[in-house]
Structure 1
Amino acid sequence: MNIENALKECMSIAGAVGVALVDYDSGMSLGTSGGGDWLNLEVAAAGNTDVVRSKMRVMSALALNDSIEDILITLHRQYHLIRLLDSVNARSSLFLYLVLDRDQANLALARHYLKRVETELQV
């Protein structure tokens, strides 16, 4: 599945408001879908690279021998889900960033669908 189709798949998840595929080494998004006036996905993508890098530093400082599957940020009206991709052609610095409307979303299903998109994504 190419990036465009992967983003379309993510936007079909119940409650999806916006999605971005992001390279956290550079902070740049490889593609976005959705968003709008109140959700600038380019800014959010760049900002969430700091979240990922910070968590990786903490894991390193704690000498945790593990990897991040996903990071969840829960707001009163939204879920912000960051899924690190480890099955995409040796590019280990990518993540999917998905924003969900909390009233319409099923978090467990959203995580399941992101995992499926990850396995089918070709970058």
Structure 2
Amino acid sequence: MTNTETALKDAMGSIEGALGVALVDYGSGMALGTLGGSQSLDLNVAAAGNTDVVRAKLRTMEMLNIQDAIEDILITLGGQYHLIRLLTGRGGNGLFLYLVLDSRRANLAMARHQLKRIEAELEV
């Protein structure tokens, strides 16, 4: 079991191309923890904005009567991947991990695999 700080450090250290990571409460839109980022990548602003993405997808699934759970949401930009992974275990309901990757350096499949591992070990 790892805490938030350890999980965020693990993500930044073990995922090639990681530019920033946050643990976000999509009920409030608040980042519970952030690591990385830059002047042009404000993880607190991104956390709030991506909360709207998660909420919209959940509403759409409800309207379509889709009885399934979101594993992750991927947003691809010209030079970045934005990966949102909803937490499912050990008190993670209502939370997601948000990871920003440099698309030139990242291996998306490996990043998803590592984020899933980090989620499994995270105790919130």
Tell me if both proteins adopt one fold, taking TM over 0.5 as the criterion.
Answer: yes
Distance 1:109 1:103 in 2: 14
Distance in 2, Cα, partners of 1:2 & 1:73: 26
Contiguous gaps of at least 5 residues in structure 2 = none
- State the partner residue of 1:115: 116
- 3-state SS of the aligned residue for 2:58? helix
| Structure 1: gaps spanning 5 or more residues | none
What CA distance in whole angstroms lies between the structure 2 residues aligned with 1:62 and 1:54? 12
- Structure 1 ranges of 4+ moved more than 3 A: none
> 1:38 & 1:10 partners in 2: Cα distance?
20
CA deviations on 1:57-97 (whole Å, 9 max, x unpaired) are 0000000010100000000100000000001x233100000
* 1:8 maps onto 2:5 in alignment: no
TM-score (norm 2): 0.97
Q: TM-score, normalised by structure 1?
A: 0.97
| Partner SS, residue 32 of structure 1 | strand
| 2:75 alignment partner in structure 1 | 73
Equivalent position amino acid for 1:35 in 2: G
State the SS of the aligned residue for 2:96. strand
**Identity, % of aligned pairs?**
66
Query: Do the aligned partners of 2:72 and 2:84 also contact (CA within 8 Å) in 1?
Result: yes
Paired residues for 1:1-123 under 5 Å: 1-12=2-13, 13-87=15-89, 89-123=90-124
Q: Which amino acid aligns with 1:5?
A: T
Question: Contact 2:91–2:123 at 8 Å: present in 1 too?
Answer: no
